[in-house]
Amino acid sequence: MSDTPLGAFLRARRRRLAPAEAGLPAGSRRRTPGLRREEVAARAGISTDYYARLEQGRQRVPTGPVLDALAAALLLADAERVYLHRLARQQGRPGPRPAGPATVSPVTRALLDTLDGTPAFAVDHRFDLIAWNSLACALLGGLDTRPVHERNLLWQVFCCPYSARTPANREAVDSIGADLVAGLRAHHADRPGDRNLAALVAGLSAESPAFAALWAQHRAGARRAGVAQILHPELNHDTFPYTTLALPDPDQLLFVFLAPPGSEARDVFRNLRTEDAPTRR
């Protein structure tokens, strides 16, 4: 069998869909969890042989209507349906050359400096931290002095020495870790030959069983807001709400930690500002 990203995604989502969710009887003769290939094929209105070839990487790119039928059959969310189409478009295409270090535009740099009352940072498609303001540098433990491989949001969540003390960040659903992995999956679909991205996935999978488990779920597309647990030696508060914004620069996001008026988080950020002035990038 020639495994492809499209086939792996279909197989993973089929195995994760419980028969009851699809309106089918669970039965007592199922040897593996999830739906059978013939059940997905019937729900999508295609032959079992055709669907098997898709999973096995032996079938050319299916048409848009077939992809939509598969998305409906597998009960994919909107973001996962878009991801399915992206996987199909990229199948068989050569990957892009690895790009150099990402940089932010002067406008993004000015925006980060304007947000001087709350931690904010920019990331690229690998979730490398490529720019930040002084409060983000302080909150995340001196980003300016960290080795390059540690200036990555996925590394911070899954591999940082403090990560074992923040298990909520790596829950299977509704966590910053699950959202980051789903976002990385979405970027991965557009870069099937990106060696740097592949190396990041391989390294995180080897170092963090939690990352490997989330990556194996094949979820794609992330929420734009959530909460994160962050440990800081000078602070008692460790849970912060955040939101993300798409930047004009290609494949870059802005993470902003929020401090509503009167909240404890606002006091935390005020305390950070009174510490020794950290650097920004």
Question: What digits encode the pLDDT tens for the residues 182-215?
Answer: 999 988 777 777 788 889 999 999 999 999 999 9
Q: Where in the chain is the domain with CATH 1.10.260.40?
A: 5-90
**What fold characterizes domain 106-274?**
Beta-Lactamase (3.30.450)
- Could you write out the DSSP letters of every residue in the chain? ----HHHHHHHHHHHHS-GGGGT----S--SSSS--HHHHHHHHTS-HHHHHHHHTT-SPPPPHHHHHHHHHHTT--HHHHHHHHHHHHHTTPPPPPPP------HHHHHHHHH-TTS-EEEE-TT-BEEEE-HHHHHHTT-GGGS-GGGSBHHHHHHTSTTGGG-GGGG-SSSSHHHHHHHHHHHHHHT-TT-HHHHHHHHHHHHH-HHHHHHHHTT-----SEEEEE---TT-S--EEEEEEEE-SSTT-EEEEE---TT-HHHHHHHHHHHSS-----
Question: What digits encode the pLDDT tens for the residues 219-261?
Answer: 988 778 999 988 776 666 678 889 999 998 888 999 999 877 7
Tell me the CATH number of domain 5-90, given options 3.90.1280.20, 1.10.260.40, 3.40.30.10, 1.10.10.10.
1.10.260.40
Give the predicted TM-score (pTM) of the model. Answer: 0.82
pLDDT category, 276, cuts 50, 70, 90? very low
Q: Where in the chain is the domain with CATH 3.30.450.180?
A: 106-274
